[in-house]
């Protein structure tokens, strides 16, 4: 039985799909105005593990991920500049070029981290009519009001507003301090924004009698319902989405679709933080990208391995030293796997497979699963086949682990060839002597069925 922590109910729950053996999964994608940082990538690795665990349990997963290429403002609320326009000014390119460039960079990151592609990618700018239609439904149902800068959702018309984030208690306090301008209540949010008359936006559309653009939240409700229907199983993102983005998505979707609950399970990953407990953020200028890690000799899969060592619901402090240790750990795992592959021994792992399933089905317990695997390796209770089966969830590409080809100088190669001849002539004392000479020069030799295997000491 699969149990997942549901942010909506604040409980670990047994997962029950709406349709037998099928899962509709929506994961909020990146805002493509800059490179994704490794904190963002934690979200996508967590979601990939979730998807792989569902597939391991024989569910067919219909996974939709959006690309936010318009409407996400710099303050995550209804003020500030559109992040895409900001990226455009920063780089002297059009907002469309920025979106295309960073979408490709993001998809390259996913490949490098061995994250499976979603079933459907969807861009906010490709789904403008769907968003306009949803706003119109909310207008028709009486959930909105207009100000001079946009069409807003009136949160007082939706009594369950903020339940997932426990916002009710903060409402009065926040309302008394926050500058709300023309908004009626502090939590009301923009569904559609009007372009400012003095400003020519690059991305704008005609709707509701003038030029404008969608608010950030409406895209996810419009696109998830388009591809997954008006009631689906799981919706994910980072924890920062709980109080604003996801809370607003729930309000507008349940108001429009009349379905309660709109989504059955909400799942959120904790942050990557830095040593001073500061959140890694694109706008904080304190971020590291996968590309930067690669330039420092880190294998992207070592970052994946680093994340698997901590539960997705725990904050994780990033340091380069910790990541280097993870890379050594992954190398170590790979060499153990090569050994298993060469031995080609078969072991009855029925019990181990049951334990593994128990771990992954306990809210994606990856640290527990890894501990199980390392113990089994130590006690020689696992074979190559089983580890590859477990890797369907871990996604560490363990089936692609290859012998490292060690480069040697011509002189050393000559000695290795001489030793080969000595062995063919069964001259064991000469063979041992040459092995010592080669060792003194910094290389070990292992005699395998395929011949001598060289390694650097």
End-to-end CA distance of the chain: 47
Span 396-435, contacts to ligand AMP by CB under 6 A = none
* 185 touches, from Zn ion, ligand AMP, none (C-beta below 5 to 8 Å by class): none
* Binds Zn ion by CB under 5 A, chosen from 28, 376, 382, 401: 28
Contact yes or no for 147/192 (Cβ under 8 A): no
CB closer to ligand AMP out of 43 and 221:
43
In whole angstroms, how close is the CB of 249 to ligand AMP at the nearest point?
A: 13
Which residue is it, tokens 């080669």?
A: 438
In whole angstroms, how close is the CB of 244 to Zn ion at the nearest point?
A: 10
Distances (CA, A) of 72 to 183, 387, 432: 19, 42, 69
336 contributes a contact to ligand AMP by CB under 6 A:
no
Contact yes or no for 36/106 (Cβ under 8 A): yes
CA atoms of 454 and 429, how far apart (whole Å): 19
Here the tokens at position 41 are 């990538």
Span 277-296, contacts to ligand AMP by CB under 6 A = 279-282
118 contributes a contact to ligand AMP by CB under 6 A:
no
228 contributes a contact to Zn ion by CB under 5 A:
no
* 34 touches, from ligand AMP, Zn ion, none (C-beta below 5 to 8 Å by class): none
In whole angstroms, how close is the CB of 245 to ligand AMP at the nearest point?
A: 8
CA atoms of 339 and 387, how far apart (whole Å): 12
* Binds ligand AMP by CB under 6 A, chosen from 191, 272, 326, 382: 272
* Binds ligand AMP by CB under 6 A, chosen from 2, 28, 45, 373: 28
- 225-244 mask for ligand AMP (x: CB under 6 A)? ------------xx-xx---
* 341 touches, from Zn ion, ligand AMP, none (C-beta below 5 to 8 Å by class): none
Distances (CA, A) of 260 to 20, 168, 232, 250, 415: 20, 19, 11, 9, 75
Which residues contribute to the site for ligand AMP (CB under 6 A)? Answer: 28, 30-31, 39-40, 42-43, 237-238, 240-241, 269, 271-272, 279-282
Which residues contribute to the site for Zn ion (CB under 5 A)? Answer: 28, 220
């Amino acid at each position: 039985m699969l149990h997942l922590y549901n942010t909506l109910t604040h409980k670990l729950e047994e997962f029950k799909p709406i349709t037998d053996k099928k899962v509709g999964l929506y994961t909020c994608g990146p805002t493509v105005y800059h490179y994704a940082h490794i904190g963002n990538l934690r979200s996508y690795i967590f979601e990939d593990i979730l998807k792989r665990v569902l597939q391991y349990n024989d569910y067919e997963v219909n996974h939709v991920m959006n690309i936010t290429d318009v409407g996400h403002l710099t303050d995550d609320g209804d003020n500030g500049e559109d992040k895409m326009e900001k990226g455009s000014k920063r780089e002297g390119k059009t907002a469309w070029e920025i979106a295309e460039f960073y979408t490709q960079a993001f998809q390259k990151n996913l490949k490098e981290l061995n994250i499976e592609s979603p079933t459907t990618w969807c861009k906010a700018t490709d789904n403008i009519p769907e968003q306009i239609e949803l706003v119109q439904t909310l207008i028709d149902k009486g959930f909105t009001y207009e100000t001079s800068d946009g069409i807003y959702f009136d949160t007082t018309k939706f009594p369950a507003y903020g339940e997932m984030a426990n916002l009710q208690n903060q409402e009065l306090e926040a309302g008394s301090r926050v500058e709300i301008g023309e908004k009626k209540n502090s939590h009301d949010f923009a569904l559609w924004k009007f372009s400012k008359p003095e400003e020519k936006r690059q991305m704008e559309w005609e709707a509701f009698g003038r030029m404008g653009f969608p608010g950030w939240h409406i895209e996810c409700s419009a696109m998830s319902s388009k591809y997954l229907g008006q009631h689906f199983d799981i919706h994910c993102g980072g924890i920062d989405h709980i109080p604003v983005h996801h809370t607003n998505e729930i309000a507008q979707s349940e108001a429009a679709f009349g379905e309660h609950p709109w989504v059955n399970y909400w799942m959120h990953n904790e942050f990557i933080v830095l040593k001073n407990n500061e959140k890694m953020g694109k706008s904080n200028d304190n971020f590291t990208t996968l590309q930067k890690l690669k330039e420092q000799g880190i294998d992207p899969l070592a970052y994946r391995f680093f994340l698997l060592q901590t539960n997705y619901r725990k904050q994780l402090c990033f340091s380069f030293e910790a990541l280097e240790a993870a890379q050594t750990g992954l190398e170590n795992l790979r060499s153990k796997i090569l050994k298993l592959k060469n031995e080609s021994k078969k072991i009855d792992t029925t019990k181990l497979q049951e334990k593994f399933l128990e771990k992954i089905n306990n809210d994606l317990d990856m640290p527990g699963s890894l501990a199980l695997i390392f113990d089994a390796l130590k006690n020689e209770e696992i074979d190559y086949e089983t580890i590859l089966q477990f890797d369907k969830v871990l996604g560490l590409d363990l089936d692609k682990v290859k012998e490292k080809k060690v480069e040697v100088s011509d002189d050393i190669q000559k000695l290795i060839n001489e030793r080969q001849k000595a062995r063919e002539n069964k001259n064991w004392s000469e063979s041992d002597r040459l092995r010592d000479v080669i060792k003194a020069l910094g290389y070990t030799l292992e005699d395998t069925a395929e011949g001598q295997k060289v390694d650097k000491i």
